[in-house]
Structure 1
Amino acid sequence: MAEEDNAPSPPAPAIPERVFLVVADESEEMRNALRFACRRAQHSGGRVALLAVIEPADLGNWLGVGQVIEDDERRDAEARLHRFADEAYRMTGKMPTLHLREGDRREELVKLLQEEQGISLLVLGTARGGSPGPIVTHLMSNLGKHVRIPLTLVPGELTPEEIDSVT
């Protein structure tokens, strides 16, 4: 019996890293969502993930012009991802995971959440004093059916200091 007491105990199972996904766009409310996700990741040892979606340009017969616009939008989306990745790195000390997709933003977000099982929480900001926005409205109708992770809504009225105090 004494030998069993001295036997090394099996290692504890590894706890998966929490991943906080933010949709990277140029909206003011996205800044609050990014700050919230970064602070939560920083305090929990997690990581931020960023999603940028290039929505197709519908230009009918202007195929050549459409390709130029899509190329420009891809460059803009990549630059935006890297700019926000730098900001997330400064706040968390970890490089975020980057996702770049093409298609309808709401549909691509749902697809990503279905495909990437490692995403722990979706963090979205709401606009100041207005409607929650098209992504939030779309997700609310898909929660439980297609989206099986918690959703955190960060009010647009919160200041950076208030975000820091609640995270």
Structure 2
Amino acid sequence: MPSSGLPSEQTAPAERFKFLVCVDGSPQSRAALRFAALRARNTGGLLALLHVCEPVDCHGWMRVAETMEAEQREEAESLLQDLAGEVWALTGLIAELHFRRGGIGSEILEAIREDGDIHALVVGAAPATARKGKLISWLAGELAGSLDIPLVIVPGNLTARQIDRLA
């Protein structure tokens, strides 16, 4: 039988499931990270970490805004490197690191649109208060219907042992 030049099912590389985790260093984002890292390891998948900083709002003070944005970026890069080290120590996986600036919801959507290998969005949930829980509420309400990948919400109050059993 002549070859079509296309890989056969047996020789095509297996698609690897990539988990995108939104991280900010909070206990709930660390719970989400632990779950996603272990799930990626246990399924032969990949892991991407995303940290989003809101734009700095300093009308008329461009230098101040530039300095603040540079400091935010340094802090974000340090956080991402620290979390990547935790992922490596826990699973042996090398995580992709992504930093974005903008509205958190729109930047999450854009990151998913840009990377067709992302198959699940993983976020950590804090107990809802006036300040906390806005992202989860927005994701579950406004975004969930437009996502074409699963949204996994990990309760931030789970213990490491509970997360390990679930992953």
| Coarse TM-score class (shorter-chain normalised) | 0.7 to 0.9
State the partner residue of 2:158: 158
Q: Unpaired segments of 5 or more residues in structure 2?
A: 1-7
1:77-121 superposed Cα distances (whole Å, 9 cap, x missing partner): 111111111111112212111111111111100111122110111
Q: 3-state DSSP class of the match of 1:51?
A: strand
Q: 1:48–1:88: 8 Å Cα contact kept in structure 2?
A: no
Q: 3-state DSSP class of the match of 2:98?
A: strand
Q: How many residues align?
A: 157
Q: 3-state DSSP class of the match of 1:153?
A: strand
1:39-92 superposed Cα distances (whole Å, 9 cap, x missing partner): 101111112100011221101112111111111001111111111111111122
State the partner residue of 2:143: 142
1:4-83 aligned within 5 A = 11-83=10-82
Q: 1:42–1:91: 8 Å Cα contact kept in structure 2?
A: no
Using structure 1 for the length normalisation, give the TM-score.
0.87
Structure 1: which 4+ aligned runs deviate by more than 6 Å? none
Q: 3-state DSSP class of the match of 1:122?
A: strand
State the partner residue of 1:93: 92
Larger Cα-atom Rg: 1
Q: 3-state DSSP class of the match of 2:118?
A: coil
Shift of 1:153: 0.8
Q: 3-state DSSP class of the match of 2:55?
A: coil
Alignment partners' CA distance in 2, 1:94 and 1:165: 19
Q: 3-state DSSP class of the match of 2:15?
A: coil
Q: Which amino acid aligns with 2:70?
A: D
Alignment partners' CA distance in 1, 2:23 and 2:143: 20
